[in-house]
A and B are shown apart, each in its own frame.
Chain A
């Protein structure tokens, strides 16, 4: 059975090399706490269910965003994604 942390490891590796947001084609970030993938460019999060990332466009949920988002706001994402 593939353990949770191994799944995240695989997904992280895959992310950096292969995956982008299906809507914006911009990079994704793994958020371990909310078990989801965040697309910063458009403020959408995609769930990971049973170790399978769900990246069908309609599965995305809008994450509350501030209007002037920067890389430094990544920590804010962690909190908003949990809500």
Chain B
């Protein structure tokens, strides 16, 4: 595990301000108007929604499941918590949180107070794309989580959340922040809705620096994934966007400084698989 506090050695061309502007006007490697980006990304996710989970399994060799488990364990979910999972459309992270809270092992060790608390648990899944949410709702049914009332699905914008200030114990965003137009607005909103003591966690594809591995990863990303997208989902372009958007996203240290700029304390990140993904975390104190 490689966790670090902020360093002061930021690469000159990757200053937060410059990065933010170029992020808002990039759609993968293409330049677009700020106003357009949201629409373009929306189109991608409307198209991929029905194949989203299969493609995740294929592209990551099933590893995305382990990454999400790691994310949830870092969250340390507790009964009665109010949690917000943003860009969580198909429900992967939300289900895991709920199942962790309700797990049999846990119940065996607890008493009746915790049972009541468990009913108070509320996991909000917020996504800007209704297709993704509908897939999530269906999966919740299949998994037996549909009727509990603990999962609340809301269509909303990560840049302008519909939740009250200081209302959430936890906030997660998994593989979502790369797709927003204004990263700083999302981070500011995350800070706003979290309670004092609340925790911010972000799981996202990130940057690999180690020499040989980087070449392999680049080859895999640009030569294999779009082809997989074509074969499995009949949609090469969406997956091309996906791999390009990963490269355009700020590197670990720069993103960490953006999180700190939003007001979070104890900002750290952990690289998984040599930096293919990173989990960034921060606390609202």
Contacts and interface: CB of A to CB of B under 8 A. Distances in A.
Nearest to A48: B155
Contact of B164 (A6, A11, A20): A20
A29 to B, nearest CB: 14
A72 interface: no
B162 A22 contact: yes
A52 B155 contact: yes
Interface stretch (B7-15, B126-134, B276-284): B126-134
Contacts of B128: 56
Which range contains the number of A residues in contact with the other chain?
20 to 34
Interface stretch (B66-74, B90-98, B145-153, B207-215): B145-153
A2 B146 contact: yes
B175 interface: no
Contacts, number: 69
B132 to A, nearest CB: 11
Given A18-B164, A18-B167, A49 B156 contact: no
Main secondary structure of the interface of B (DSSP, over half): mixed
B161 A22 contact: yes
B81 to A, nearest CB: 13
B154 A55 contact: yes
The interface centre, meaning the residue of A14, A49, A51 with most chain B CB atoms within 10 A of its CB, is: A14
B157 A51 contact: no
B122 A18 contact: yes
A54 interface: yes
Given A6-B149, A56-B155, A19 B163 contact: yes
Interface of B: 82, 122, 124, 128, 130, 133-134, 137, 141, 146-147, 149, 152-157, 160-165, 167
B152 A10 contact: yes
A53 interface: yes
B157 A53 contact: no
B119 to A, nearest CB: 11
A24 B251 CA distance: 34
Nearest to A10: B149
Contact of A19 (B137, B149, B162, B165): B162
B95 to A, nearest CB: 16
A21 B134 CA distance: 22
6 contacts: A18-B163, A21-B162, A23-B160, A52-B133, A52-B137, A53-B154
B154 A52 contact: yes
B77 to A, nearest CB: 17
A21 B164 CA distance: 9
